[in-house]
A = this chain, B = another copy of it.
Amino acid sequence: MAYYVGIDLGGTNIKAGIVTDEGVMLNKDSIKTEADTRSNEEIIHEMGKLALKVIEDANLKISDIEAIGIGSPGTPDNVAGMLVYSNNLHFEMTPMRKLIRDIVDLPVFIDNDANCAAMAEAVAGAAKGTKDSVTITLGTGVGAGVIIGGRIYSGFNQAGSEFGHHVIVSGGVQCSCGRKGCFEAYGSASALVRITKEVAEKNPSSRLAAIIEEDGKVNGKTAFKAMREGDAAGAEVVTIYTDYLADGLANAINTFMPEVVVVGGGVCNEGDPLLIPLREKTMSKPYFGPGVKKTRIELAQMGNDAGIIGAAMMGKSCVDDKLDGINSAS
């Protein structure tokens, strides 16, 4: 059995765990990121110490571990071992590999967190057994990870895939990326909240509006709750939102023709009331000729551990490809 350390670096928490070569997590631990008070160097040294701790907690030695895989927000350079840029954590050309290796003498590989989540689904989750898959996470934004031939595909500059930032409504709603009308601006949980507010305002006597009044807030669940109570305005929100989601998912299918599109994020907890219309709407759209195999749409299965497991399995894929996880550009 070969073992890998997966580290999931987030704005709030740093999580790490030991993962087998089949994508099974043996143990995990986490600490606060504390990006406001810690320097970049301190954050990364803490990541290294957390790696040492989970190795020890699993009763393993450093020599039992093949590599450390790190999933980070932003754009990595896995050749140089750098984090080129991360808006969330204010990293810029940060020598992450070198700083981890100050603490732990193991090969270190770095990729984007959304890409690592896609890797987790491909190795052990909803896309297990497939070579080509796309994982789309509907959260505050729309994250996307693309797996091609069992490997993360992130483009020549490792900055992809930013599939959440492809325009589906030319000239539409302003997106955080600067463009107008991105998939993220119509398919994210934040977009669902915006659509819910808009429809409630137009239908002030609806149950939807009453629920918002009662709860004193709007979130991704509000419209589904109203719909379950038989409210037409709630159902209208779900129709509008799933229409946009279906546009984005069908775009992913026509663009990548993956065996599976995996959909994750908090919105997916709604289950069938979301998934059934979404599948139906999406699958009528792609460009499949007669006899051509069709993509499947599945819900994400890896949950909160996707980041750790995916980072570890990204590390494994780099070891398998005999990439250098030792040398650093700086």
Contact = CB atoms under 8 A, between A and B. Distances in A.
Interface in A189-208: none
B170 A243 contact: yes
Contact of A179 (B159, B160, B250): B250
A76 to B, nearest CB: 10
30 contacts: A74-B289, A75-B291, A75-B292, A84-B292, A85-B291, A85-B292, A86-B289, A87-B289, A92-B290, A92-B291, A93-B291, A131-B156, A155-B257, A156-B257, A156-B258, A157-B292, A158-B257, A159-B288, A159-B293, A160-B255, A161-B254, A161-B256, A162-B255, A162-B287, A165-B254, A167-B247, A167-B250, A170-B243, A178-B284, A255-B255
Given A157-B259, A179-B250, 20 more contacts: A84-B291, A85-B292, A92-B291, A148-B153, A156-B257, A156-B258, A157-B288, A157-B293, A159-B287, A159-B292, A161-B254, A162-B287, A165-B286, A165-B287, A166-B255, A167-B250, A169-B170, A170-B186, A170-B243, A170-B247
B168 A167 contact: yes
Given A85-B289, A85-B291, A287-B177, A155 B258 contact: yes
A132 interface: yes
| Chain A contact surface mostly | loop
Contact of A244 (B163, B170, B294): B170
Contacts of A165: 254, 286-287
Nearest to A178: B285
A135 interface: no
Contacts of A72: none
A132 B161 CA distance: 13
Contact of A254 (B74, B75, B162, B250): B162
Interface of A: 74-75, 84-87, 92-93, 130-132, 148, 153-163, 165-170, 172, 177-179, 186, 243-244, 247, 250-251, 254-259, 284-295
A257 B289 contact: no
A75 B289 contact: yes
B257 A161 contact: yes
Contact of A257 (B130, B159, B255): B159
Contacts of A75: 289, 291-292
Given A169-B170, A170-B168, A170-B186, A163 B254 contact: yes
